[in-house]
Homo-oligomer: A and B are copies of this chain.
């Protein structure tokens, strides 16, 4: 059981390869130890040194297998990658500013520089990833979620993808477009872990273990978020919420360990680079500690939460709408697909034109980068008082929010509205990019807007107990940022990320309230951004059970299972195998004792059956048969010995070896094509005609299947017909199953796959095609009827046991026969 429920067909081949490699390594290790022994006998000058070195090497190699070494290396690597990427992005952004600043004599030149720079960078990024590894496009979190479910996505964890993702991401973010780095960093960290794991497996065998790799990937996701925001705790929690459905607390420390180390190194690098004096938060705030907020401000925070919930759902919807619109419009699509780089270029052009500071950008703080906007939005001071923009000293970047003609409120509203659709649009560009950071900034701006309004409304604060505590709009910005990003990603841990980013936890209750409200609203309206992308990309997924849908406890497996199971019996012949393989497309097939008893013995992978069939009917046996026939023919005809026959048999044996080596795909034995092949064979003796071959084929097909060399999973996952949908969902997501057989006292009666489950869960809202149990199904008197049923079933089995001759079973086998 759980022998092989991954969807990958070549796992077995890989395992075999790994085993071979392992045994090779063992040999090399023993070689090395032999070298050591030899060295000890060697009385040369630096023999001692060399012995010492070899010993150290041995010790190190034995230590390399430890988890914590791996995690430290991963953390170190990711911190370096994160820091280098950040550094490059900062340089890119500075270069744009420098160009823009240097050309301040001519507005047109300025515009050209402002627009061309991002267009070039984005186009390069899109082209580069397209050419090197198209898998690097997008966030990466949806893919990681799918991979952690146990599905193997090809090419998602290769070195090529790593290079494409890192360089593509740097260029994309360097362009100044509203894109984020947290999603790609989850992917990059997973890539790092996978590559590191591969590299480390050169030293020890343990890195080959599949479940260990999954554990390490889960830790890597935490590292990705952790080193991106220098937020170890938030990173771990965010990665858990975003990628897992069930989390092993056992793996908890791995994530914390690696993420903390990574965040530590990431911040230490900043100190060493003289950017900062000591390790502090990334976006440090300086709100007052003694009275962070008044109780009476809580309704305002709740409003932020609810509005953010709607906003988050709208963002996800808008994002999906844009993707679907681009896909549907065939004319546009053909045009854009031909020139894959045109779409990114056009979008970038549009966005950067609108943010051009002397143009429309002046009304929306267009000249600020994402980071600068966030710093100003989280600022401690109040921008507006009594409705009029206060004439305080706008230091540094805060100036950008001040416009001589328009109010700071107008600037904020424009910023929010424009950035909202720009971010939704920009994240559809086929470059490596995330949506967390843009959404975070928009949320902060929204919070700031509410905060400034509150400050304008209550210039002396709300508290009536003597002391004046003015309202802190920066605190509102923090709340807004957490709420909106939480709503878009459907996570609560953005609250923790916010605390770690700002270095202040004083607003914990408002933040938690807003985040929970935002989540409640967003989750009831739309799937999370990542789930939305999973659906758009048609990755295999299992929808979450919604909040408090009680009907999941009442729907049972028997209501959703497919009763018409494709199975093979222990005494079936190759013809049955052939028919089953031709009709269905399931990856595994049930093996039952006989069509009468239907006792489930195990499941066999399709590939195994295909190879069985191809062994029986494939080229080698065919050639052998022909050779035998030819030999018999020859003997019978007593012709002179032909020197070419030996050569021919050699070739045949070569072909046999070739056939056995690769995982050959089964070619349905069509008489016409095979006979054509054989007729063209030079070695064929004339009497072997097409009919004979067809006859031979028929004969072969009627033979009983020999399962001796076939890998059988002897205990595939089994459910009972009365298991509730809720429990089934839990088990499927716990164990990462993609199908389970439904049995009744050992007898196969149905199968449930991810598809049925998905239909049932989504169908319980909008029923289509699936028989969904009425909501009151739990009230039916199931106790007596089903126990009766069980008893009858058992009785049948018993009867069979006594008489050993039973009439054919009704539903499943008959319908199966028909379908075959």
Contact = CB atoms under 8 A, between A and B. Distances in A.
Contacts of A713: 720
A475 to B, nearest CB: 12
Interface in A785-818: 787, 790-791, 794-795, 797-798, 801-802, 804
A260 B512 contact: yes
B745 A508 contact: no
A516 B248 contact: no
Contacts of A586: none
A783 B250 contact: no
Contacts of A206: 550, 553
Contacts of A779: 22-23, 26, 205
Contacts of A325: none
Contacts of A593: 599, 746, 797, 801
B264 A513 contact: yes
A730 B205 contact: no
Contacts of A503: 289, 505-506, 508
A545 interface: yes
Nearest to A719: B1
A244 B250 contact: no
Contacts of A545: 250
A793 B736 CA distance: 29
Contact of A519 (B253, B516, B548): B253
A241 interface: yes
A735 B290 CA distance: 47
A553 B553 CA distance: 36
Q: Give this chain's copy count.
A: 2
A775 to B, nearest CB: 11
Interface centre among A293, A571, A718 (most CB of B within 10 A): A718
Contacts of A264: 509, 512-513
A708 B791 contact: yes
25 contacts: A1-B723, A68-B520, A233-B508, A237-B237, A245-B249, A246-B246, A248-B730, A253-B492, A253-B547, A260-B509, A260-B516, A267-B509, A278-B293, A278-B294, A279-B293, A279-B509, A280-B291, A280-B292, A499-B499, A503-B505, A570-B797, A599-B599, A601-B794, A601-B797, A707-B791
The 9 lowest CB-CB distance pairs between A and B, nearest first, are A708-B791, A67-B548, A715-B718, A260-B512, A505-B505, A601-B746, A714-B745, A206-B550, A256-B492
Interface of A: 1-3, 15-16, 19, 22-23, 26, 65-68, 205-206, 209, 211-212, 232-233, 237, 240-241, 244-250, 252-253, 256-257, 260, 263-264, 267-268, 271, 277-281, 284, 286, 289-295, 463, 465, 492, 495-496, 499-500, 503-506, 508-509, 512-513, 516, 519-520, 544-545, 547-548, 550, 553, 570-571, 593-594, 599-602, 707-715, 718-720, 722-724, 726-727, 730-731, 734-735, 743-746, 778-779, 781, 783, 787, 790-791, 794-795, 797-798, 801-802, 804
